[in-house]
Amino acid sequence: MNALPRQKLVVVGNGMAGMRTVEELLAIAPARFDITVFGAEPHPNYNRIMLSSVLAGEKAVDDIIINSRDWYDENHIALHAGDPVVAVDPVAKTVTAASGLVVPYDRLLLATGSKPLMPPLPGLDLPGVVAFRDIADVERMLAAAEAGQRAVVIGGGLLGLEAAWGLRRRGMPVAVVHLMDTLMERQLDVEAGHLLQKDLTERGLHFFMGGQTEEVMGTERAEGLKLADGREVPADLVVVAIGIRPNVDLAKAAGLEVNRGIVVGDGMRTSDSSIYSVGECVEHRGQVFGLVAPLWEQAKVAAAHLAGNADAIYVTPALSTRLKITGIDVFSAGRLAAQDEADEELIYRDSAKGIYKKLVLRDGKLVGAVMYGDVADGNWYFQLMREAADVAEMRDRMIFGQAYADHACKGKGGMDVAAMADDAQVCGCNGVSKGAIVKAITEKGLTSLDEVKAHTKASASCGQCASVVQAILAHVTGEVVEAKAAGMCGCTDLSHDQVRREIVAQDLKTMDDVRAALGWRHADGCAKCRPALNYYLICAWPAEYVDDNQSRFINERVHANIQKDGTYSVIPRMWGGVTTPAELRAIADVADKFAIPTVKVTGGQRIDLLGVRKEQLPAVWADLNKAGLVSGHGYAKGLRTVKTCVGSEWCRFGTQDSTGLGIKLERMMWGSWTPHKVKLAVSGCPRNCAEATIKDIGIICVEAGYDIVVGGNGGIELRGTDHLARVATEAEVLEYSGAVMQIYREEARYLERMAPWVERVGIESIKKRVVDDAAGRAAAHARFLFSQAYAQIDPWAERVKGLDAHEFNALAEVE
Amino acid sequence: MKDWIRIGALSDIPRLGARTIETAQGQVAVFRTKDDEVFALFNRCPHKGGPLSEGIVSGKVVVCPLHSWTIDLATGEATAPDEGCTRPVESRLADGEIFLLLERGRKVAHG
Ligand code: SRM
Ligand SMILES: Cc1cc2nc3c(=O)[nH]c(=O)nc-3n(C[C@H](O)[C@H](O)[C@H](O)COP(=O)(O)OP(=O)(O)OC[C@H]3O[C@@H](n4cnc5c(N)ncnc54)[C@H](O)[C@@H]3O)c2cc1C
Ligand code: SF4
Ligand code: FES
Structure confidence at residue A54 as a pLDDT band (50, 70, 90): very high
Q: Using one digit for the tens of pLDDT, what is the confidence trace for A115-133? A: 999 988 999 999 999 999 9
Q: Nearest CB to A812: which of B55, B63, B110?
A: B110
User: Cα–Cα distances in Å, from B82 out to A44, A72, A281?
Assistant: 12, 14, 31
The answer, yes or no, to whether any atom of ligand 1 lies below 6 A from the CB of A277, is no
Distance from CA of B89 to the nearest CA of A (A): 13
CB spacing of B102 vs A531 below 8 angstroms: no
pLDDT of residue A301: 96
The answer to whether A700 and A707 are in contact (CB under 8 A) is yes
- Residue that wins the pLDDT comparison between A272 and A328: A272
The pLDDT value recorded for residue A485 is 43
The model's pLDDT over A235-292, given as tens digits with 9 standing for 90+, comes to: 999 999 999 999 999 999 999 999 999 999 999 999 999 999 999 999 999 999 999 9
Contact A806 B13 (CB under 8 A): yes
**A586 CA from centroid of ligand 2 (Å):** 57
Query: What is the rounded average pLDDT for all residues in chain A?
Result: 91
3-state secondary structure of A300: helix
Report pLDDT for A480: 34
Among all residues of chain A, which has the CA nearest to that of B65?
A554
d(CA A515, CA A523) in angstroms, rounded, equals 7
Q: What is the pLDDT of residues A140-160, one digit of tens each?
A: 999 988 887 899 999 999 999
pLDDT tens across A689-702, in order? Answer: 999 999 999 999 99
CA-CA distance, A466 to A459, in Å (whole number)? 5
A17-32 pLDDT, tens digit per residue, is 999 999 999 999 998 9
What does the pLDDT average to over A781-809?
A: 94
Structure confidence at residue A408 (pLDDT): 35
Would you say residue A413 has pLDDT above 60?
no
Q: Please check the confidence at residue A338 and state whether its pLDDT lies above 60.
A: yes
Q: Is the CB of A111 under 6 A from ligand 2?
A: yes
Lowest mean pLDDT among A130-139, A382-391, A555-564, B30-39: A382-391
First to last CA, chain B: 27
The residues that bridge with B3 in the sheet, in sequence order, are B102
Task: Please name the fold of domain B2-106.
Answer: Rieske Iron-sulfur Protein (2.102.10)
pLDDT one-digit tens code per residue, B25-34: 899 999 999 9
CB A109 within 8 A of CB A11: yes
Least confident range of A183-187, A218-222, A335-339: A335-339
Quick one: pLDDT band at residue A396, thresholds 50, 70, 90?
Answer: confident
CA distance A225 to A290: 27
Query: Does the pLDDT value for residue B65 go beyond 90?
Result: yes
Question: What pLDDT shows up at residue A159?
Answer: 93
Is A2's pLDDT higher than 70?
no
Residue A715 has pLDDT above 90, yes or no: no
Q: For the segment A195-208, what is each residue's pLDDT rounded down to a tens digit?
A: 999 999 988 999 99
Residue A353 has pLDDT above 80, yes or no: no
For A214-246, b/e burial (b = at least 16 CB within 10 A) is bebbbeeebbbbbbeeeeebebbbbbbbbebeb
Please give the interface size between A and B, counted as residue pairs whose CB atoms are below 8 Å apart.
115
| Single pTM value for the model | 0.53
DSSP-assigned letters across all residues of A733-796: HHHHHHHHHHHHHHHSPTT--HHHHHHHH-HHHHHHHHTS-HHHHHHHHHHHHHHHHHH-S-HH
Q: How high is the pLDDT of residue A376?
A: 81
**Lowest-pLDDT range of A76-80, A753-757, B1-5:** B1-5
Please answer yes or no on whether B59 and A524 come within 8 Å at the CB atom: yes
Residue of A nearest to B18 (CA): A807
> In chain A, what are the domains?
7-113+246-306 (3.50.50.60), 129-242 (3.50.50.60), 496-551 (no CATH), 556-789 (3.30.413.10)
Contact flag A806-B58 (C-beta cutoff 8 Å) = no
- Residue A4 has what pLDDT? 64
Residue A3 pLDDT > 60? no
- State pLDDT tens for residues A370-387: 999 888 888 889 988 888
Distance from CA of B86 to the nearest CA of A (A): 17
Percent of chain A at pLDDT exceeding 90: 71
Do residues A641 and A604 make contact, with C-beta atoms less than 8 angstroms apart? yes
- Band the pLDDT of B105: cuts 50, 70, 90: low
pLDDT of residue A553: 94
Q: Prior bond to B81 cis, omega within 30?
A: yes
Pairwise CA distance, residues A132 & A158, whole Å: 11
- For A491-500, how does the pLDDT look when each residue is reduced to its tens digit (9 = 90+)? 888 889 989 9
Q: Is A340 exposed, middle or buried (0-12, 13-18, 19+ CB in 10 A)?
A: exposed
Query: Helix, strand, coil % (nearest 5) of chain B?
Result: 5, 50, 45
The beta-carbon neighbor of B54 closest among A68, A527, A554 is A554
Element (H, E) at A38: strand A33-39
pLDDT band at residue A358 under the 50/70/90 scheme? very high
- Give Cα A141 distance to the centre of its chain: 23
Q: How confident is the model at residue A388 (pLDDT cuts 50, 70, 90)?
A: confident
Interval A780-805 mean pLDDT: 95
Distances (CA, A) of B27 to A567, A792, B12, B15, B35: 14, 36, 17, 20, 24
Q: Where are the domains of chain B?
A: 2-106
Q: Ligand 3 in contact with A675 (CB < 6 A)?
A: no
| Cα torsion angle, A40, A41, A47, A52, sign | negative
Using alpha carbons, list the distances in angstroms from residue A83 to A9, A96, A276, A569. 17, 10, 20, 46
User: From the CB of A610, is ligand 3 less than 6 Å away?
Assistant: no
Q: Is residue A684 lining ligand 3, measured as CB closer than 6 Å?
A: yes
- pLDDT value for A20: 95
Distance from CA of A756 to the nearest CA of B (A): 24
Distance of CA A594 from the midpoint of ligand 4 (Å): 27
Helix (H, G, I), strand (E, B) or coil at A631: strand
Q: Please, what is the angle between helix A292-306 and helix A16-28, to 10°?
A: 40
Cβ within 8 Å, pair B21-A810: yes
ipTM: 0.67
**In this predicted model, what pLDDT tens digit does every residue of A73-88 receive, in sequence order?**
999 999 999 999 999 9
Q: Ligand 2 centroid vs A298 CA: distance in angstroms?
A: 14
d(CA A651, CA A647): 5
B84: exposed, middle or buried (Cβ count in 10 Å: 0-12, 13-18, 19+) = middle
Ramachandran angles phi, psi of A695, nearest 5°: -110, 165
Asked if A573 and A629 touch (Cβ cutoff 8 Å), the reply is yes
A812, B82: Cβ pair inside 8 Å? no
pLDDT(A709) > 80:
yes
